[in-house]
A and B are shown apart, each in its own frame.
Chain A
Amino acid sequence: MRNILVLAEPTELAWSKATLGLVSLASGLGDVSVALCSVVSDELLEELAQRGASAIYLNTNEKIYNHGNSAKADFLIELITSHEPDAVLLETSVDNKEIAGRVAVLSNSGVLTDISALEFDQSEKLIARQEIFGGFSTVISSVSTGVTIVTVHPSDPGVESKQKDLKVVEVFTNFADSTKALTVKMGPRTETSSRPKLTEAKIVIGAGRGVGNQENFKNSVEGLADALGAAIGATQAVIDLQLCPSDLLVGQSGATVSPDLYFALGISGAIHHLAGMQSARCVVAIDIDENAPMLHNADLGIVGDVGEIVPKLIEVLNNRK
């Protein structure tokens, strides 16, 4: 049986879809162990067991959050050394790519990022599907040396009961000197949005230059997101206008999203934005310029003014409820 190690982000409330998706993906490949940096509730552990996890490695060095991503990487290295997994799976994020990079060097292993699928081929080799250049190209790759280290954009297949008996093993990691030399002082946390997470949302409302001003952003973009239970994404132009925070950027320098529906409002469709959303299942676009590339990349393109059309659409949607 193959051994797959998954890094899960501890949580007080509920696992992210990504964590659950990773454990489900791993359980289709082999025996699943989960690396946890801190304690979670028994209910949450039980949920991992239902997805097929059979071991939890629980870090007991409470300084793990004081030394940044390096400390988490050192914890994973300790587990790789003692348990020799065939693959290590992390959710794709800026922090996890950093962790994966350090783990790859220290374990002398290849790393692949932005994986969308992972499976064993006939020769028992782990093969990854990787979206590159913002999804314009899909490549099939593999790691040829060492442990297969991947960061994954997992989809959540839902629970298929694979209930395992779960053992919890406590692990104390001594961090490297260069890890201990870095200290993290955590700043205050702001309230998180009640909207779904941009990279996990089924519907994303994309806001572009054509939205124009704060009033339209509130009435059209936020209004439509609320009416459809959607997340909000934005182009660089909208962030430069300071209509929303920069972590909502979709595109080459920002997030890559693949929702069921991408609703583009006033987005002309420059290639570096298309790179972040073109794997959406459906695209609807509204733009005043009939030549906007986004309209011609959409299943339904509306030539018209966002500020005129969207408030009326929100009214139609709210009347249906």
Chain B
Amino acid sequence: MLFKRIYQFLIVYTISILFLLMIKMVLSLSDYVIPGVPLIIETAGQVFKTYFFDVMNTLSITVLGQFMSIIMAFTVGIAGRKSSWIGSFIKVTAYNIQAYPIVALAPIIFILLGDGFISRLLIASMICYFPLLLSVLGIMATPVEDVEHFYIVTGQMRWQLEVKIRAFENLSKLTTVISGSATLAMAGTIVAEFIAANAGIGYSIRIALYQSDLAKILIALFVIGIIISMYQGVLETIGEQIKTKWSVSNQGEVI
């Protein structure tokens, strides 16, 4: 899973670079507009280490922000799963808020909280929170009737059991949603760093942008891609291990 993600990224990245080089060749563009391979390699030697630590800085915010989002999404999702008025209220509110582009609120957060750790964390978690919440709400609010029926009619159903049944039956969906939300959290953090932060890979890209240095931006994208692929691969591997330990494969031997 981990290596598959990295291979996929490397293929896409290589194709993109080749496409850029093709444009450069066809239109006879200078290295200032689209850098050639020697310049990209030279720039990589200069900035790779710095960018690697910048991405790790961004990733630390991403992981923390995503963790906060998962906790919040499950808390609200579990509270909002019922068809009571409070459940309906939570669902309607979540659907309405997620329709608003949260990133547009980022400047307000920077004005109120200043640039730094808290603002980046808040924006990262807000951006991945709502898609996560909608998925968790959808899963938690959908009864698994053929499993739940017995517990309901015999009066043995408890909310913890209900949540466990629904989470277990949708484990693949939850794993996909959580690993997918890593990209959103990363995007949120980088956007926050673009706008006003003073650290992280988004901040470095902003500087490279002011310098019109596409080589640096390409190196930054490469490091971001490799690191996020590894992070998503780790999340998916953890998800697979949870699934294997919690249940046996459906393709298991029929007795």
Chain A bound to chain B: no
Chain A interface residues (CB < 8 Å from chain B) = none
Chain B interface residues (CB < 8 Å from chain A) = none
